[in-house]
Amino acid sequence: MCFYPPCTSHCPLGCGLYPLFTTHHPLPCVTLLCVSASDELFMEEALREAQRALALGEVPVGAVVIRDGDIIGRGCNRPITSNDPTAHAEILALREAGQAIGNYRLLDCDIYVTVEPCAMCAGAITHARIRRLIYGAEDPKAGAVHSVLQVLNNARMNHRVDVMFGVLAAKSMELLQRFFRDKRATQRT
């Protein structure tokens, strides 16, 4: 089920739904796309990965890589538990996907992430030649798709990624808010 407001003439796919981001972020890096039931299903899988990160005491971010309707890579944030600053959910999911198909180029693959990717992850998504990025919540402090930087789909880059955001954003934000609220409460005691 899509949560975007209905429209009459803007949807090129004819579903009658107009993505929220096109009205607020008319950037060339964002392509008009419509949310499907499978988009929400795969974002739920990314949210499960974020829950795993939360259980590990990590910032709750999760990612899954999809090819031909199958999950070929999963990742949850692990930089603290693995003592690895590159162990972001997106990086781990991309690594697993590359191993699964035997290629570092993930052509015809989509990645679902609960939070807007940082500069490192946006760069990795570009280098992997991901077809489509779908993410939940924006990251106003470190987002590198459009919130803070525009690493993904930068005019100087030679690869373009279709981008959609806001898919199950409220659930992603709730996990992040819970994590930081609990962290602040622990620091006070």
The two tokens of residue 45 are: 């899988």
Catalytic choice (40, 45, 49, 90): 90
Number of H helices, E strands in the chain: 6, 5
Q: Which amino acid is at 90?
A: E
The two tokens of residue 182 are: 């609990």
Active site residue 90: yes
Report the candidate in 101, 47, 100, 102 with the shortest Cα–Cα distance to residue 76.
47
Q: Which amino acid is at 93?
A: A
Residue 89 near residue 113 (C-beta atoms within 8 A): yes
Residues classed as catalytic: 90
